[in-house]
A = this chain, B = another copy of it.
Amino acid sequence: MLSNSLAYAIKALIYISHNSSETERITLKEVSDSTEVPKPYIAKILQDLVRNNVLHSIKGPNGGFYFSEEGLDISLLQVVHILEGPDKYNKCLLSLKDCNASSPCPLHDNIGQVRVELLKRLEQITFRQLMQHKKSVDLF
């Protein structure tokens, strides 16, 4: 239901949210080791998130990735938009061009409700919330 890359990103971000601050950065190696996502692959994903200001990073000794205070309030939906584009959960389930509330496709009212609910929840969930989840501490 969620892509591989998105699930990896969420795991990595939860890990970083727990362990980082502006002064305590997490290295790529640590993220890769703890989340068990291949290093070059998670690197690509994190680079993308840094470019889009979800995370910050600093190079060199004692460098690494960290969440700023504001970053923690980024929603899952924003991460989806960055990694998969804005259309991922936002188009007609049958890819019809003229599907809408007044002229709905046969799935629009039924499965479409689920899609809308998914969007709503993705928008509500932030990393500040996720990091408070009890399991997220020993996820890794």
Q: A residues bordering B, Cβ < 8 Å?
A: 1-2, 4, 7, 10-11, 14, 88-89, 93-96, 103-107, 110-111, 114-115, 117-118, 121-122, 125, 130, 133, 135-136, 139
Contacts and interface: CB of A to CB of B under 8 A. Distances in A.
Nearest to A94: B7
Contact of A94 (B10, B103, B114): B10
A104 B135 contact: yes
27 contacts: A1-B1, A1-B88, A1-B89, A1-B93, A1-B118, A2-B111, A4-B95, A7-B93, A7-B94, A7-B95, A10-B94, A11-B94, A104-B135, A105-B135, A106-B133, A106-B135, A106-B136, A106-B139, A107-B125, A110-B121, A111-B118, A111-B122, A111-B125, A114-B114, A114-B117, A114-B118, A114-B121
A92 to B, nearest CB: 9
Task: State the oligomeric state as a number of copies.
Answer: 2
A96 B94 CA distance: 30
Contacts of A122: 111
Contacts of A125: 107, 110-111
Nearest to A96: B139
Q: Which residue of A14, A89, A114, A117 has the most chain B CB atoms within 10 A of its CB atom?
A: A114
A72 to B, nearest CB: 14
A114 B112 CA distance: 12
